[in-house]
Structure 1
Amino acid sequence: MKFKILLPLVSCCLMLLTAATSFAQTGSIKGTVSLSNGEAPDNISVTLKGTKFGTATDEQGNYEIRNVKPGNYIVKASVIGFSSKEENITVAAGSELVVNFTLITTSEALTEVFVKGNANKYTKSESQYVSRMSVKNLENSQVYNVVTKELIKDQLVTNQDEALKNVPGLYQLWAATNRAGDGASWYSLRGFTTQSLVRNGLAGKVNSNTDAVNLERIEVIKGPSATLFGNVVSSYGGLINRVTKKPYETFGGEISYQNGSYGFNRLTADLNTAVNDDHTALFRINAAFGNANTFQDFGSSKSFFVAPSFSYKVNDKLTIAIDAEIGNQDNSGMSLIYLPFGVSIDQLGVNNAKDLDINWKRSFLGDEFLTNTKTLNVFAQANYQMTDEWTSQTVFSSSSNKAAGLQTWFYLLPNQQLSRNAWDANGKDNAIEFQQNFNGDFNIGSMRNRFLIGADLYYGSNKLGYQSLPGYAAYDNINYTGSAANYYDFNPTNVKDALAGNGNPPYTTNSSIATYSAYVADAINLTEKLIVSAAVRFDHFENEGAFDAATNTNGGSFSQNAFSPKFGVVYQVVKDQISIFGNYQNSFTNKGFLNANVGGALEMKQFDPEKANQLEGGIKINAFQNKVSATLSYYNIKVKDIVTADPNLPNASIQNGTQYSKGFEVEVTANPIPGLNLLVGYANNDSDLNGLRPVTAGPENLINYWFSYNLQSTKLKGLGLGFGGNYGDAMYIYNNGPGETFELPSYAVVNAALYYDQPKYRVSLKMNNLTDELYFNGYTTINVQAPRTVMGSVTYKF
């Protein structure tokens, strides 16, 4: 009996003795990895070459590899964007080696800065996409803002729209409608509309609100940027570039679950692994599944998103990579409320959305109107080191979107009425882009040249089908105050019956465009501190027109050529810390054939391209070992030959518009003390189109801010608190001069987050719109925004 009682105790002792003996026969390696530019050194791969041993650093750059058998090894630290480092080591039984690394950015050997346990994690200013050359932010005359993955994590951001609220001067006009052709979110940037059409520097369109699970960061590149990106994916105000997550050398990942207000549920996974023993083949996959309701009586969404990525280092010179985005969404979003045609503001009786007597929790729908959206984006890249001075980059991108379903919208009418409208819309759009770049980094005499020559081919096509009620007539009208006997009549079944019974015949648009481009750029160090840059692009644009299958003809086809120059100058007042800059940038839009007033009659006429020119100057700062980073700039954009409505003939256009847009922007990120990070942005925009502020310009003044602090040395290390929000002035959604304006009110939204972050898990809680502010956005529309919402998250890391 005693033997039976002692047996488990003896077994445990033997197991502990065996483990202790095994541990004594192995060693361990630990240390800290720092990044030369002071960025947060988390998720850096540290491996023993030729073995399966490896790990990744935490947010402070610390790592540890345990149970390593005695012997000689090469330990390697590496991360994308920085030169890897290796060190020969010898591991002895029972030993604990300390091996520290500092990695230098691949763009240039920077002055080494050691920032241990303290990082300005809301700035990541170096980008391989903005100039397509190895030019640091302080050497670049163009302004761009970056939303980092660290900021996305601290704010518990789940989609792109949320993340972009952190960009100074970027204002969402309306959220994604998921409609075929142009269903993605629309934004105002420096007074002009833009969409998120770029992924990893090339075409990567989606027609829905992109899930954040695959976002490494988002870059918003300011000003007319046709010189390097073309006019198809950029606007006069700039462009939005989504940078996706890439594979790294060690095994790791995380699984997260979020739950929140109005039935919000979201499950995400991030898995990374090396495919072979020498870590030259790497694979990573990110996925998200979610569903939610809106805060109104009807409205819901369900989404699935998966993003696999693979990279292979063929040899020391050649690396290839391929990744994809596969998405599927069913959405029944909130309908846009438009101002009516042919009705004066006086007839409406109100000129501000805050004065409308509407219960905004009513959707004015009788059931769910679902639109299904499918996305497939594929991206492939090959980098080849031709010589010590020259590299080749070959890139291919394919973007495909499909959408189908009933779409709804409302018109605001006098006497507290809404007209309820719907059509059956379906279609698809495809874009293929191929790009070849050659980069050189060489000296001519004492002057350093960073040189780019490249070519770009873009082909895009759209096939869209619609069916509506005769003359785009409303389905019905409804009283938006009090009771409404016909409230539930507006539902998919009744609308489909109406379309089948007396709807217009379905019609289809089928069009395609192509651009053939070549560009050259050079950034020259006249001195160590003075850099001048110049670039020019030639575009040959072809619009094949609208194809009519019945007649087998193309109507409205045309072609145009355009040059886009760009110039810049940068002087570093303090090397690698303070620089002043100025730039000239250019863009254009091909308008083609439109209805025009020709001798009093309506006829098709080919219009000239619109042309935009920007002058900008400012200062960039990255000081105190990257603890403070800031950009201050003033810009002035002039767009000539804008096509506007002809006042003398309905449905006709005239090319007589000139728009001016000027403004001031500032962004500051800082890490003044360990654990405290802050981001503050301000933008002022003054836009004028033929004497009036255009409705595309958004608010005149915008403010965004976020502060976070996490405890550093107590027993609760890893506990953090975040606080921030957005402010916007009142803005016009209709502006036809004094007495003929309609406004959305100013708003101030406050958000907060609480989190506890540990090496193996993270628990988070956030609350958006703390004060339950009633606010709107809009683009000739009144779009109510969400009230107070709460969301919690649990993450397991491995």
Structure 2
Amino acid sequence: MAHIRSRKHAAAPQPAHTALALAALTMPMTLLAQQAAPAAAGAEATLPEVKARAAAETPYKADAVASPKFTQPLVDTPQTITVIKKEILQQQAATSLTEALRNTPGITMQLGENGNTTTGDSIFMRGFDTTNSIFVDGIRDLGNISRDVFNIEQVEVVKGPSGSDNGRGASSGYVNLVSKTAAREAFGNASIALGDASRVRATVDLNRPLDIALPGSAVRLNVMAQDFGVPGRDEVKAKRWGFAPSLAIGLGTPTRTYLNYLYIDQKNRPDGGVSTFGLPAYNFGANTPGAAVDPKNYYGSRSDFDDVTLHMFTARIEHDFGRGTVLRNTTRLGHTEQDFVLTGVNAVTATAADPASWTVARSRQARHQTNEILTNQTNLNTEFATGGVSHSLSTGFELIHERQNQVNAQTLTNTTLPASLQQAVANLYRPNIDDAFLMPPFKGAYAKGSTLSAAVYAFDTLKLSDAWLLNAGLRWEKFHTETNGATFTAATATLPESLVQNAPLSLTDNLLSWKLGAVFKPTADGSVYVTVSNAYQPPGGANHALSTSATNQASPSLEPQEGSNLEVGTKWDLLGGRLAATAAVYRSENRNELVSDGATPASFSQVGRRRIDGVELALVGQLTPAFNLSAGLAYMDPKIVRGVPGATGNQGGAIVYSPKVTFSSWATYKLAFGMTLGGGVRYVDPVVRNSNLNNATSANLPGTESYTVADAMLAYEVTKNVNLQLNVYNLFDRQYVAAVNNGGSRYVPGQPRNVLLTANVAF
């Protein structure tokens, strides 16, 4: 007979990845679970019959997150968490993490630091850089790459510093991608999408139970192939393919094993951006005012490339001991390798009388980077009572080894090239992709860094009464970061060129992160809460690269930056649990930032502090059986409380890439005859790219204007198993700046109106 398990709250399905090569690392766990299984199974077999009624599944609303560290459903979790389910991603025909994150307010994208244009997911959330706080199934995923969502069940956006969850991290929170994994039921889905800008994409998701001697076995395979241009951009391409097999053993039994593997290969032509010259509010300086350039212009070379290869192996074993006690062990080995050559856009020379002769400087850069991770994580969830107080306890320990190797090429500009080569200068209005370009020589900095950390944690939800819950989390970890590097020295009249080894650097320290929340439940379907939490970002925590410079935040002699968050909010499950309404008021701060005193010569100290005061509202779920809605509104008041003083400093200025108001929505309504209408609106307030108090008069583009973009979707069920879907993006063809670089010299244009037609087949 089927095993019956009783839990106060149903746990969310836990996705996992793995590889057979790692099974040996978890063998002791398997043996322990197998020995305990008969007793547990026998105990469960004697339980009386239990009749349970599950809440109706809604396409948009999630009731829980995947991590076992969250012991309660979302309505009773004292923190702002947005869950973007795969149903929304499918309806929007989203392909990347960047597109998925459009469904939550308060997030903006950055183009890159001056000469180093980004090639991946560069996320700013609640006023802070969150690029290095991206996780896959609760495990950190470093690398400057664009992440695909073909193997993603849902995207979880946890807002507010959460060091107790995952260790070092941003003051804004983190993003967790939950992977698809094998399940008991048989199903199959396939899609093929065609669109303008020469876009073609195909995916397959196939799950089948296995009729083998091992009970509860199933296999799942996700496959993706894509060849995309970018609407509104000449020459930019996103070409990739990947596959993700998943094997599960023991589904429906007390002991379950999941073995997953993910492989992705990308062959892209990256976007170095478009000159901001002539955009509204552009500061021409010594240049002659002129018209903005065509946003389609491509200033790079046909030989520009961005190649990415990703391997991810994960194994998870979990065992139910009965009475709400579950033990999990997860092992992951991941490797990401990236090679790119990219041409960026810099300063404009527009002093001649004839605009046809105006030029823009270009820089050509290259990098080879590898990121690796090996981790083993053990988690125990249990439920018990002490006196009149019931506990939902999650404890565990983690061992993590991360490594990043980065080799930079020498950046080629008009000052580093012979005068006979004109590749560093392009015609402003008519750039030529066939210009003769040199390949940047790998004569830049080399850095090899690693971090080894060990952590223990505990999360407990204490039910004091039917109306009061207390939630607490604590994580202690010890880490050791090492950095080795070398600097290329150019030849002189007396010395040949050389590669000089830098002195090795290291840092060993402890981090103690925590969170504490109190929840009042006026009814079973609602809560009012207050929570406080913190997170640390130690020197070198973002990329394992320590610095010898005392004026660099990565200096090992400095203290970790500390983020804190105070939040008061309320959550309600309405309409029989089909609709979630949430509201929160918060204050997030980041302290111990290294800043100058503004003097000459400057003195640096860790007194810097940034603050975000904000409000966030959300409504997600099913208003009627035919009407589904996901909407969110965020207001932020971002300020540098203490920074560089003076008229040219940033103390009292705004925080970059942090619009005050953002809004995101998506809704669908199912009509008769198998027709579904859908659409959404996104609004973003103006964004500053420089925190200096005189930002409005700074060079190039001081910031971006507000914009509103509307998207639409029409779907038709041809048969029970065949669905045609037409997506129209930027319905009213608005022109806007999607991202701008720190220097304000280049930007990524928002895509003009474009369409994508998708055929979805179930089998």
* TM-score class normalised by the smaller sequence: 0.7 to 0.9
**Amino acid across the alignment from 1:166:** N
Residue of structure 2 equivalent to 1:444: 386
Report the CA distance shift for 1:356/1:137 in structure 2 as closer, same or farther (over 3 A).
farther
- Contact residue 596 and residue 653 of structure 1 kept, 8 A: no
Which of 517, 534, 542 matches 1:586?
Answer: 534
**Amino acid across the alignment from 1:737:** L
Q: Does 1:745 align with 2:709?
A: no
Residue of structure 2 equivalent to 1:787: 752
The 2-side partners of 1:698 and 1:602 are apart by 22
- Contact residue 407 and residue 442 of structure 2 kept, 8 A: no
Residue of structure 1 equivalent to 2:594: 643
Which of 221, 228, 232 matches 2:158?
Answer: 221
Which of 184, 188, 192 matches 2:128?
Answer: 192
Q: Does 1:701 align with 2:636?
A: no
- Contact residue 679 and residue 707 of structure 1 kept, 8 A: yes
The 2-side partners of 1:751 and 1:624 are apart by 27
Residue of structure 1 equivalent to 2:21: none
Residue of structure 2 equivalent to 1:68: none
The 2-side partners of 1:572 and 1:591 are apart by 41
Report the CA distance shift for 1:479/1:207 in structure 2 as closer, same or farther (over 3 A).
closer
**Amino acid across the alignment from 1:708:** T
**Amino acid across the alignment from 1:678:** L
RMSD over aligned CA atoms reads: 3.5
Residue of structure 2 equivalent to 1:319: 256
Report the CA distance shift for 1:314/1:282 in structure 2 as closer, same or farther (over 3 A).
closer
Report the CA distance shift for 1:533/1:349 in structure 2 as closer, same or farther (over 3 A).
farther
**Amino acid across the alignment from 2:404:** N
Report the CA distance shift for 1:544/1:727 in structure 2 as closer, same or farther (over 3 A).
same
The 1-side partners of 2:359 and 2:754 are apart by 30
Which of 288, 298, 314 matches 2:224?
Answer: 288
- What's the CA shift string for 1:9-34, capped at 9, x where partnerless? xxxxxxxxxxxxxxxxxxxxxxxxxx
- What's the CA shift string for 1:213-254, capped at 9, x where partnerless? 2111110011101112111xx311011111111212233202
Report the CA distance shift for 1:652/1:321 in structure 2 as closer, same or farther (over 3 A).
farther
Structure 1 SS opposite 2:570: strand
Which of 179, 201, 210 matches 1:244?
Answer: 179
- Contact residue 468 and residue 519 of structure 2 kept, 8 A: yes
- What's the CA shift string for 1:589-608, capped at 9, x where partnerless? 1126545569xx99976111
The 1-side partners of 2:255 and 2:188 are apart by 27
The 1-side partners of 2:268 and 2:453 are apart by 33
User: Larger RCO: Structure 1 or Structure 2 (Cα < 8 Å, ≥ 6 residues apart)?
Assistant: 2
Residue of structure 2 equivalent to 1:567: 516
**Amino acid across the alignment from 2:726:** L
Which of 440, 443, 446 matches 1:508?
Answer: 446
- Contact residue 215 and residue 244 of structure 1 kept, 8 A: yes
The 2-side partners of 1:471 and 1:102 are apart by 72
The 1-side partners of 2:123 and 2:722 are apart by 35
Greater C-alpha Rg: 1
TM-fit CA distance, 1:761: 1.1
**Amino acid across the alignment from 1:581:** Y
TM-fit CA distance, 1:647: 4.3
| Correspondence 1:409-558 to 2 at 5 A | 409-413=344-348, 415=350, 417-469=359-411, 473=415, 476=423, 478=425, 481-483=428-430, 487-488=432-433, 490=435, 494-496=437-439, 499=440, 505-547=443-485, 555-558=504-507
Report the CA distance shift for 1:351/1:204 in structure 2 as closer, same or farther (over 3 A).
farther
The 2-side partners of 1:651 and 1:409 are apart by 31
**Amino acid across the alignment from 1:149:** K
The 2-side partners of 1:481 and 1:370 are apart by 22
Q: Does 1:722 align with 2:671?
A: no
The 1-side partners of 2:286 and 2:616 are apart by 37
Which of 669, 672, 687 matches 1:731?
Answer: 687
Comparing 474-483 with 438-447, greater Cα deviation is found at 474-483
TM-fit CA distance, 1:368: 4.3
**Amino acid across the alignment from 1:189:** M
Residue of structure 1 equivalent to 2:22: none
The 2-side partners of 1:730 and 1:350 are apart by 25
- Contact residue 469 and residue 520 of structure 2 kept, 8 A: yes
Q: Output the TM-score relative to the length of structure 1.
A: 0.77
| Correspondence 1:199-348 to 2 at 5 A | 199-205=136-142, 207-231=144-168, 234-276=169-211, 280-294=216-230, 295-313=232-250, 316-336=253-273, 348=285
Question: What is the total number of aligned residue pairs between the two structures?
Answer: 669
Which of 62, 68, 92 matches 1:124?
Answer: 62
Which of 736, 739, 755 matches 2:715?
Answer: 755
Residue of structure 1 equivalent to 2:95: 158
The 1-side partners of 2:707 and 2:308 are apart by 32
**Amino acid across the alignment from 2:535:** S
- Contact residue 644 and residue 655 of structure 1 kept, 8 A: yes
Which of 734, 740, 762 matches 1:778?
Answer: 740
TM-fit CA distance, 1:393: 1.1
TM-fit CA distance, 1:649: 6.9
Residue of structure 1 equivalent to 2:83: 146
TM-fit CA distance, 1:644: 3.6
Q: Does 1:403 align with 2:326?
A: no
The 1-side partners of 2:10 and 2:453 are apart by 40
Between the aligned residues of both structures, percent identity stands at 19
The 2-side partners of 1:376 and 1:597 are apart by 37
TM-fit CA distance, 1:740: 3.5
TM-fit CA distance, 1:417: 4.3
**Amino acid across the alignment from 1:251:** A
The 1-side partners of 2:111 and 2:249 are apart by 40
- Contact residue 119 and residue 270 of structure 2 kept, 8 A: no
Which of 370, 382, 385 matches 2:320?
Answer: 385
Q: Does 1:683 align with 2:634?
A: yes
Residue of structure 2 equivalent to 1:50: none
TM-fit CA distance, 1:578: 1.1
Comparing 625-634 with 197-206, greater Cα deviation is found at 197-206
Structure 1 SS opposite 2:161: coil
The 1-side partners of 2:320 and 2:257 are apart by 12
- Contact residue 480 and residue 507 of structure 2 kept, 8 A: yes
Report the CA distance shift for 1:388/1:605 in structure 2 as closer, same or farther (over 3 A).
closer
**Amino acid across the alignment from 2:120:** A
Report the CA distance shift for 1:651/1:337 in structure 2 as closer, same or farther (over 3 A).
farther
**Amino acid across the alignment from 2:530:** G
Comparing 145-154 with 248-257, greater Cα deviation is found at 248-257
Residue of structure 1 equivalent to 2:729: 768
Report the CA distance shift for 1:544/1:759 in structure 2 as closer, same or farther (over 3 A).
same
Report the CA distance shift for 1:480/1:667 in structure 2 as closer, same or farther (over 3 A).
farther
Q: Output the TM-score relative to the length of structure 2.
A: 0.81
**Amino acid across the alignment from 1:629:** A
Residue of structure 1 equivalent to 2:302: 367
- What's the CA shift string for 1:235-288, capped at 9, x where partnerless? 110111111112122332022110001000011111111122576111001011
TM-fit CA distance, 1:298: 1.9
- Contact residue 422 and residue 474 of structure 1 kept, 8 A: no
Residue of structure 2 equivalent to 1:622: 573
The 1-side partners of 2:263 and 2:475 are apart by 33
TM-fit CA distance, 1:311: 0.9
The 1-side partners of 2:163 and 2:480 are apart by 16
- Contact residue 461 and residue 469 of structure 2 kept, 8 A: yes
List runs of 5+ in structure 1 lacking aligned partners: 1-35, 42-84, 87-100, 105-111
- Contact residue 539 and residue 555 of structure 2 kept, 8 A: no
- Contact residue 595 and residue 607 of structure 2 kept, 8 A: yes
Comparing 366-375 with 474-483, greater Cα deviation is found at 474-483
- What's the CA shift string for 1:414-463, capped at 9, x where partnerless? 53642111123112111122211111111112211011221112211111
- Contact residue 730 and residue 752 of structure 2 kept, 8 A: yes
Structure 2 SS opposite 1:299: strand
